[in-house]
Amino acid sequence: MYGGESAKIYHAQHTARGKDYRAEAEVVAGEIRKRCPEAGSVLDVACGTGGHLGAFQDLIGHVEGVDLSEPMLAIARAGHPDVPLHLGDMRSFDLGRTFDAVTCLFASIGYVASEAELHQAVRCLAGHVVPGGVVVVEPWWFPETYLDRWVSGDVVEHEGTTIARVAHTVREGDASVMDVHYLLASAASGVRHVHEVHRAMLFTAAQYEAAFREAGLEPEHVPGVQSGRGLFVGVTPPSSASAAEFKSGHPGSGTAKNQTCLGERS
């Protein structure tokens, strides 16, 4: 999805614009802590260039990342050499282990192509969470909150390059299509033009909730946060064995520290 040049532009633009990854991570970590106070590990799916990883390390502890774009991961590795990062598709990746929490932020879930793929992705996220662990998904806009034919633009400077960005987003059926144009200017290379098209699904809240429930998660929508898009948060049910071990006071191989966050650490 993001090639080498697009990944660099993405990283430069959001860095120069001052995207507050720390504040976003604090909101997400707070929602995780409400439901899983002892959480000590988090997997950030669609982690991109790794903007949230350092904050999650500070706030939660052990952190790993997954992304579909190798160029994005290369930038993330340069910034976070101590964080395990994995190439994978949110609809089908399998790390073979679980975490206390799994996140999918910055509306990356909108890049799936259908409601069926939304269900695949949420099942995959839920499959990487311990019993009693937490899944947090930041949605793209809902059909009723999306503004059709929206125009946005800005100009930033990053490491000697001026980046002008203009975008126009239109609705096509159940998706939004964003047409993005960049002009990049530097003393060394002059002016270059880069064009991208991003298609994101406009799922309803009910569709997100149905995907969570189908994956065994009871969803809660947290409105207003993350640029107004909110968050969907769900907790995986504790396994009967783990719950019984916890109640008896004799946990097995997992670290059953509390009833809302049971299972092995990653």
Q: Is there a domain that residue 65 lies in?
A: yes
143's enclosing H/E stretch is none
Q: Is there a domain that residue 256 lies in?
A: no
Q: In terms of Cα–Cα distance, which of 57, 58, 35, 31 is closest to 44?
A: 57
Helices (H), the chain: 4-17, 21-35, 53-59, 70-79, 115-126, 205-214, 240-248
Q: Is there a domain that residue 255 lies in?
A: no
Q: Is there a domain that residue 103 lies in?
A: yes
Q: Judge if 49 and 12 occupy the same domain.
A: yes
Q: Residue 239: what pLDDT?
A: 73
Neighbours of 154 (CB within 10 A): 12
Q: Is there a domain that residue 259 lies in?
A: no
Q: Judge if 181 and 210 occupy the same domain.
A: no
Distance of alpha carbon 17 from alpha carbon 237, whole angstroms: 40
Q: Judge if 174 and 105 occupy the same domain.
A: no
Q: Is there a domain that residue 185 lies in?
A: yes
Of the residues 185, 201, 217, the one at which a domain ends: 201
Q: Judge if 13 and 96 occupy the same domain.
A: yes
CATH code, domain carrying 234: 3.40.50.150
Q: Residue 44: what pLDDT?
A: 98
Q: Judge if 15 and 105 occupy the same domain.
A: yes
Q: Residue 6: what pLDDT?
A: 86
Which pair of tokens denotes residue 11? 């990283």
Q: Which domain holds residue 184?
A: 150-201
Pair 134, 100: CB distance under 8 Å:
yes
Q: Judge if 138 and 182 occupy the same domain.
A: no
Q: Residue 258: what pLDDT?
A: 35
Q: Is there a domain that residue 98 lies in?
A: yes
Q: Judge if 190 and 223 occupy the same domain.
A: no
Q: Judge if 54 and 176 occupy the same domain.
A: no
Q: Residue 238: what pLDDT?
A: 87
87's enclosing H/E stretch is strand 85-87
Distance of alpha carbon 137 from alpha carbon 99, whole angstroms: 15
Total tally of structural domains belonging to the chain:
2
Residue-by-residue pLDDT tens, the chain, 266 positions: 666 688 899 988 888 888 999 999 999 999 999 999 999 999 999 999 999 999 999 999 999 999 999 999 999 999 999 999 999 999 999 999 999 999 999 999 999 999 999 999 999 999 999 999 999 999 999 999 999 999 999 999 999 999 999 999 999 999 999 999 999 999 999 999 999 999 999 999 999 999 999 999 999 999 999 999 999 999 999 874 443 332 333 222 233 333 346 433 33
Q: In terms of Cα–Cα distance, which of 149, 63, 52, 54 is closest to 100?
A: 63
Q: Judge if 95 and 138 occupy the same domain.
A: yes
Distance of alpha carbon 141 from alpha carbon 204, whole angstroms: 8
Q: Judge if 240 and 214 occupy the same domain.
A: yes
Strand 85-87 and strand 62-67: the pairing is parallel
Q: Residue 257: what pLDDT?
A: 33
Of the residues 165, 184, 201, the one at which a domain ends: 201
CATH code, domain carrying 183: 2.20.130.10
The DSSP call for residue 109 is: G
Q: Judge if 47 and 112 occupy the same domain.
A: yes
CA max distance for the chain: 70
Q: Judge if 33 and 106 occupy the same domain.
A: yes
Q: Is there a domain that residue 264 lies in?
A: no
Pair 75, 49: CB distance under 8 Å:
yes
